Amino acid sequence: MDMQTRPTVRVGRHSLLTAFLSFHSFSIVMDQEVAVVLEAAPGFVDRYLDLVEATDGDPGLAATFTELADYVAGLAVEIERRRPVLARCLEGVESVAAGSQDGAEVVAWAFLDSLSPDDRRRIAGWLGPRTRALLDDVDPDPDPDPGPGPDPGS
């Protein structure tokens, strides 16, 4: 498909993407699918702009989504790299919580209470039984979705 017949989108005036693109001296006409991805993943914009520059303004869908796949793979590797660290931290918290009443108090009111409700929701699936019980004391009406926990295969 050539540039004349391919459906394209000019980035909207109030778009977050417009803020990113305003720093660049070239005009970009992009496919709707690319605009959707860039709006959803602002962290990908710089890589997309590098791709646009390398292809003189029109990388096309296939190249854009190939670059997006590389970006997403990097994010997934980063999650996997940090997963064991998070698990060890929360295992330590569980050990302290289960070790003594003073430890349980510190875990409840210094650790858990210091986390935002969103952060408590994110780690709920990772918590051990004693820490989960303390979480109920700190946040008696949490979101019913405990968030992702450790991968059962790890």
Average pLDDT rounded to a whole number, residues 22-48:
80
Check whether 140 has a pLDDT greater than 90: no
- Give the pLDDT of residue 141: 73
DSSP 26: S
Check whether 96 has a pLDDT greater than 70: yes
d(CA 126, CA 79): 14
d(CA 83, CA 136): 24
Confidence of residue 12 (pLDDT cuts 50, 70, 90): very low
d(CA 29, CA 8): 6
Q: Cβ distance 90 to 147 under 8 Å?
A: no
- Give the pLDDT of residue 31: 85
Confidence of residue 54 (pLDDT cuts 50, 70, 90): very high
